[in-house]
């Protein structure tokens, strides 16, 4: 998961500006949390970092989307553990 953090940090810092940069960063976050090797602890850190990114760029809709995705992730993991 460290490589995802490197990619994300570089995209945030050098990935351009505005909507293009934000869309690229969001795409990376989505891929990172979908990675099969991503543990729940790592996913929690990714969701936190993603939420902070959305707050930094002032996107309340983005913050809400991150929260919805995080809750869905937890629900999916709980259902998988019960099966």
> Could you read off the pLDDT of 4-42 as tens digits, one per residue?
999 999 998 888 778 888 999 999 999 999 998 888 899
Give the list of residues 6+ apart from residue 60 with CB closer than 8 angstroms, or none.
Answer: none
d(CA 16, CA 12): 8
Give the total residue count for the chain.
83
Q: pLDDT-based confidence at 59, cuts 50/70/90?
A: confident
pLDDT at 39: 87
pLDDT at 17: 79
SS3 content of the chain, % helix, strand, coil (to 5): 85, 0, 15
Contact 49, 63 (CB under 8 A): no
pLDDT at 1: 61
């Amino acid at each position: 998961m460290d490589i995802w953090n490197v990619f994300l940090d570089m995209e945030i810092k050098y990935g351009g500006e505005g909507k293009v940069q934000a869309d690229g960063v969001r795409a990376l976050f989505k891929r990172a949390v979908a990675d099969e090797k991503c543990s729940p602890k790592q996913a929690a850190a990714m969701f936190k970092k993603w939420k902070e990114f959305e707050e930094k760029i002032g996107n309340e809709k983005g913050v809400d989307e991150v929260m919805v995705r995080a809750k869905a992730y937890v629900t999916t993991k709980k259902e998988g553990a019960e099966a």
